[in-house]
C-alpha cells in the first residue's frame, strides 16, 4: 500500500508478533534476561504479566526460540482447558504418545517417565503457557501438581506463565496460595516511555527496509506516544494509520495532522480532549 511511497520493503507495523521486530526496551529486555536466568537455575514457576498489547506473546516466542537450542519445550497458547485436557496437551507437546494411555493416571505416568528420560539426557523440560489468566481455577491447581514431578536432586518440569493483570487477581485467591508460594520469579512488562517509542518506531522502520531520515515529526511522535500510553500494539496501530494518512495526502513526513487523523480513527486510543490538555 504505502510501502513504496516511503521506501519500505514491507509493512513495518503489522500486529502479528514477529521476533525480528523485537526491540530490547528496558522492561522487555530485563524480562527476557530474568526468564533465561531463572530457567537456568531450574526454578519452579515463573510469572510474566502485562497489560493487553504490551508484547507478552512476542516475548513468549522469543523465549521459545532461545530454549529451542538446548531444552524440550511445551507451548500452550490457549489454556482454557480442563485439568485432564491440560495433562494430555502437555504430554503431547513433550513427545508422549497419549494414544496408548487409557486414563489420566497413565498419562501422568508416561509424562513422568518422559521427564525422567529428558533429565538423564541433561535436557531441561519447560512448559510455557500464554494467556494464563484464561485458565480455570481447577486447571491452575492441576498445573501445580505437575511441579511435584521431581527427582531427589532436580525439578523435572519448569513452568512459565504469561498473562494479563487478571492473572495476579486469580492467583491471589486463598485457594491457590500453594501455587502462589511456588512462584519464585516474576516480572511485569511496562509501557514504553517517549524515548523508547521513538526508538521503537525507528527500529521497526529499519527492519522493514527504511534507511532515510526520521519519518515521524517530533509532534507526531509525541501524539502517538501520548495516545497509545506507550502500549506497543497501539503504537503499531497509530503509526500504521499515520503513515496511511501521510501517503493519502502525498506527504513524505508524518506530521501532527496525520497523527491526529490516526487517533480520531482509533477507538482504543486516548481521547483527543485529554491529548489537547497535554499538548
Supply the CATH number for residue 233's domain: 1.10.8.60
Same domain, 176 and 236: no
Same domain, 219 and 243: yes
Residue 111: Cβ within 10 Å count? 26
pLDDT classification of 108: cutoffs 50, 70, 90: very high
Count structural domains, the chain.
2
- Rounded to an integer, the average pLDDT of 45-73 is 92
> Does residue 88 sit in the same domain as residue 68?
yes
Tell me what the mean pLDDT of segment 131-137 comes to: 95
Domain boundary among 145, 164, 188: 188
Task: Give the mean pLDDT of the chain.
Answer: 90
Residues 142 and 248 in one domain: no
Q: Average pLDDT for residues 72-95, to the nearest whole number?
A: 94
Q: 148 or 45: which carries more pLDDT confidence?
A: 45
Angle at the Cα of 49 (from 88 to 162), degrees rounded to 5?
A: 20
144 within 8 A of 175, measured Cβ to Cβ:
no
Q: pLDDT at position 22, please?
A: 86
Distance CA 5, CA 266 (A): 23
How would you list the strands of the sheet with 125-129, edge to edge? 72-76, 125-129, 158-163, 45-49, 183-188
- Residues 58, 162, single domain; the answer is yes
pLDDT in tens, 228-241: 999 999 999 999 99
pTM for this entry: 0.89
- Please tell me whether residues 255 and 141 are part of one structural domain: no
Residues contacting 208, CB < 8 A, separation 6+: 3, 8, 9, 10, 11, 12
- Residue 32, all three cell numbers: 527476557
Compute the CA torsion angle 74, 78, 83, 87 (nearest 10 deg). Answer: -20
Same domain, 139 and 52: yes
Q: Domain span at residue 248?
A: 192-278
Last residue of a domain, which of 169, 188, 207?
Answer: 188
pLDDT at 275 over 60: no
3-state SS assignment for residue 230: coil
Indicate if the pLDDT at residue 208 is higher than 90.
yes
For residue 272, name the pLDDT band (cuts at 50, 70, 90).
low
Q: What's the mean pLDDT in 246-265?
A: 95
| The pLDDT value given to residue 271 | 58
Average pLDDT estimate for 209-235: 94
pLDDT reading at 274 higher than 60: no
For 13-17, 21-25, 151-155, which range has the lowest pLDDT when averaged over its residues? 151-155
100 and 205, same domain (yes or no):
no
Q: How far apart are CA 104 and CA 86, in angstroms?
A: 10
Q: In terms of domains, do 90 and 40 share one?
A: yes
CATH number, domain of 57, equals 3.40.50.300
Are residues 87 and 215 located together in one domain of the fold?
Answer: no
| Residue that terminates a domain, selected from 188, 213, 240 | 188
User: Quick check: 130 pLDDT over 60?
Assistant: yes
Amino acid at each position: 500500500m504505502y510501502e513504496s511511497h516511503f521506501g519500505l520493503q514491507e509493512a513495518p507495523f503489522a500486529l502479528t508478533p514477529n521476533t525480528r521486530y523485537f526491540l530490547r526496551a528496558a522492561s522487555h529486555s530485563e524480562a527476557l534476561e530474568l526468564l533465561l536466568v531463572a530457567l537456568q537455575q531450574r526454578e519452579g514457576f515463573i510469572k510474566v504479566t502485562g497489560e493487553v498489547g504490551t508484547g507478552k506473546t512476542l516475548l513468549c516466542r522469543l523465549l521459545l526460540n532461545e530454549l529451542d537450542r538446548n531444552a524440550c519445550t511445551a507451548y500452550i497458547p490457549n489454556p482454557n482447558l480442563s485439568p485432564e485436557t491440560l495433562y494430555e496437551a502437555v504430554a503431547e507437546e513433550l513427545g508422549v504418545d497419549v494414544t496408548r494411555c487409557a486414563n489420566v493416571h497413565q498419562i501422568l505416568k508416561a509424562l513422568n517417565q518422559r521427564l525422567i528420560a529428558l533429565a538423564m539426557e541433561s535436557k531441561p523440560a519447560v512448559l510455557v503457557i500464554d494467556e494464563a489468566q484464561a485458565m480455570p481455577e481447577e486447571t491452575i491447581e492441576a498445573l501445580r501438581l505437575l511441579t511435584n514431578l521431581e527427582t531427589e536432586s532436580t525439578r523435572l518440569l519448569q513452568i512459565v506463565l504469561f498473562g494479563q493483570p487478571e492473572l495476579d487477581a486469580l492467583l491471589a485467591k486463598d485457594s491457590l496460595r500453594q501455587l502462589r508460594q511456588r512462584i519464585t520469579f516474576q516480572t511485569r512488562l511496562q509501557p514504553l516511555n517517549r524515548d523508547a517509542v521513538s526508538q521503537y518506531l525507528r527500529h521497526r522502520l529499519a527492519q522493514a527496509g527504511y534507511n532515510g531520515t526520521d519519518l515521524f515529526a517530533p509532534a507526531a511522535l509525541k501524539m502517538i506516544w501520548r495516545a497509545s500510553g506507550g502500549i506497543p500494539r497501539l503504537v503499531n496501530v497509530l503509526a500504521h494509520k499515520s503513515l496511511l494518512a501521510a501517503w493519502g495526502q502525498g506527504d513524505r513526513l508524518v506530521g501532527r495532522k496525520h497523527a491526529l487523523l490516526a487517533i480520531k480513527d482509533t477507538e482504543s486510543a486516548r481521547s483527543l480532549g485529554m491529548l489537547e490538555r497535554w499538548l
